[in-house]
A and B are shown apart, each in its own frame.
Chain A
Amino acid sequence: MPLVLKEEIIFNKELVPGIFELAFISEYVSQRAKPGQFVNIKCCDGLDTILRRPLSICSVNRKNNTVIVAYRETGKGTRYLARKKAGDKLDLIGPLGNWFHVSDEYKSIAVVGGGIGVFPLLFLLQQNPCAFKGAYIGFESNTCIVMEKEFLHCSDKIMLATNDGSKGFKGFVTDLLALNLLQEGSKGKINGEKYDIIYACGPMPMMKKVFELASKMGIKCQVSLEQRMGCGIGACLACACKVKHDGDWHYKRVCKDGPVFWGEEVDFDG
């Protein structure tokens, strides 16, 4: 059960231009949050930007009750948030939404993140005790890379791509994933990396590609979706996403039924 909370900010720092990491203390959130969930933050104290901003939980420390979220300053709301300082109170609701499916049966997992989509995946890697963890992370360029160290720390293999090739593989992170999944053997047999499940978060075209690759390989795939939200608790029906249903489709709520969905459910072109 989520709560409306007022929690204290520990730090709110700019990692690279426009991308911020914010830490706050919350026993309630830290003890309950599961990877994939988000907190919904009231960025502006007054009436200017009234809606909360949903931010994925990026990391949690259950020993000292610290929760970390990260965000890009993209508009008025996040601009208010970026001004907040250590010691300020954060008006938030959480943890909200569903979470990534984890299972003892998954011996080997991969996460694929694009840009600010990498954040919830870090939390997943941190909390996941499985045998092998691969991390594919992609950014526009060298100057946008965030949390590389953290990903290194909690994965067995990290693969980094930049669109302009300024660091790591040149191209989309999905191209990098394809190269590693689809390495062709002598008889066309696939002998690339084997994963039991791939989790993806990032731009819609990226997640679509990841799902297509995963289904081709018979690998399970979950994606974390984004949509403009109203309430964040499932009441207003603003954050609709098109989901396949009995040969037809219907709209589900990203905030309550998601943000995590199985790849095969999602209509990526909807």
Chain B
Amino acid sequence: MASSPGSNGKYNGKVNGKIVSLNLGSTNPGNINLEVEIAGIKFKNPVIAASGTYGFGREFAEFIDLGRLGGIAVKGLTLKPRKGNRPPRIAETPAGILNSIGLQNPGVEGFINDELPFLRKCNTAIIANIAGSTVEEYCELAEILSGTDVDAIELNVSCPNVKEGCLAFGNTVKGISGITREVRRYCKKPLIVKLTPNVTDISEIARAAEINGADAISLINTITGMAIDVHKKKPILANNFGGLSGPAVKPIAVKMTYDVAQTVKIPVIGMGGISSGEDAIEFILAGACAVMVGTWNFVYPDACVKVLEGIIKYLGIYNHKSVYDLVGKLELN
């Protein structure tokens, strides 16, 4: 695809040497159905801002209309406010970044009082991402948030940057089974379980989440990594280790999305290094019915909208009427 949409919403470009022209309109042009349904929630389109990269949306509202997004997964919430890790918290690596923020957040009450009212006005689905250091904390968070008007809860059992809990619940079949089962009892909202890639076989983890009550799976969280300042002979991150994200992880994420989509029947939300509509389409072909855009939001604050426009363009060019025309429609060689 050699061109981009002009200001009039018309796309003129070449696909495989063929000149195509189509009207993109604003959000949902022509007769393309962008809507996807996950655990009973209708997302107006398949592009969701990934947790931890979008704060609570406010900073991005300065750049784009948040109502254009399919949804927003908010910064990981804990019961009590968390200060987060010492800086430096970020290191750039080839085609990616390592982060170790350490779940800095205002706590669930702070979120409900100060952030949720703003988000609710944005006309997009809101996913509350929760993290704890004990099963009880997760359950309490799920219970509290079930009493609010968030649309879904995303279980963060995959954050590599906190000392206790979190990842420890997500990297074994036993751990994920237990926490999903327990949280399910308290969670009255659709429950999305976000998986870590730091496991031997992600399919069995996904299967365990499904069996124990997950309504959907999102993947991948960051891959644990390390970057070293050779002059100081020390890690760049104050926390020594961090989570790798960005375009560098995309092939890993696509493969894992494929593996998981082959294994579970519940909807899969794919993410990892998406920076364009075509990247998103890879995940959709691999079996995801929606995608999350993360790190690229740091580079372009309008990244989610650009990814959405790219998806629309692709659907138009190949004459697909719905996102579902493509979900899992990968043909292996």
Query: Residues of A with Cβ closer than 8 Å to B?
Result: 1-4, 42, 47-52, 76-77, 93, 227-241, 250-251, 256
Contacts and interface: CB of A to CB of B under 8 A. Distances in A.
B59 A235 contact: yes
Contacts of B299: 42, 50-52
Interface stretch (B21-29, B81-89, B198-206): B81-89
Interface in B41-87: 52-55, 58-60, 62-63, 75, 83-87
Contacts of A77: 92
Nearest to B298: A231
Interface stretch (B7-15, B93-101, B122-130, B174-182): B93-101
A236 B247 contact: no
A7 to B, nearest CB: 16
A230 B90 contact: yes
Nearest to A241: B87
Interface centre among B62, B63, B89, B297 (most CB of A within 10 A): B89
B62 to A, nearest CB: 5
A1 B58 CA distance: 12
A235 B53 contact: yes
22 contacts: A2-B62, A4-B63, A50-B95, A50-B299, A51-B90, A93-B301, A227-B88, A228-B90, A228-B91, A228-B236, A230-B99, A231-B297, A231-B298, A233-B59, A235-B55, A235-B297, A236-B101, A236-B298, A238-B99, A240-B85, A251-B84, A251-B104
B54 A235 contact: yes
B106 to A, nearest CB: 10
A240 B83 CA distance: 10
Interface string B232-251: 00001000000000110000
B89 A51 contact: no
B89 A234 contact: no
Contacts of A4: 63, 300-302
B97 A240 contact: no
B92 A236 contact: no
A3 B300 CA distance: 10
A4 B96 CA distance: 21
Contacts of B296: 50
A77 B85 CA distance: 25
B295 interface: yes
A47 B95 contact: yes
Interface centre among A228, A229, A233, A238 (most CB of B within 10 A): A238
A240 B87 contact: yes
Contacts of B94: 48
A252 B302 CA distance: 24
Given A50-B299, A228-B90, A228-B91, A234 B59 contact: yes
Contacts of A52: 298-299
A50 B96 contact: yes
A231 B59 contact: yes
A236 B62 contact: no
Contacts of B75: 237
A232 B90 CA distance: 12
B161 to A, nearest CB: 11
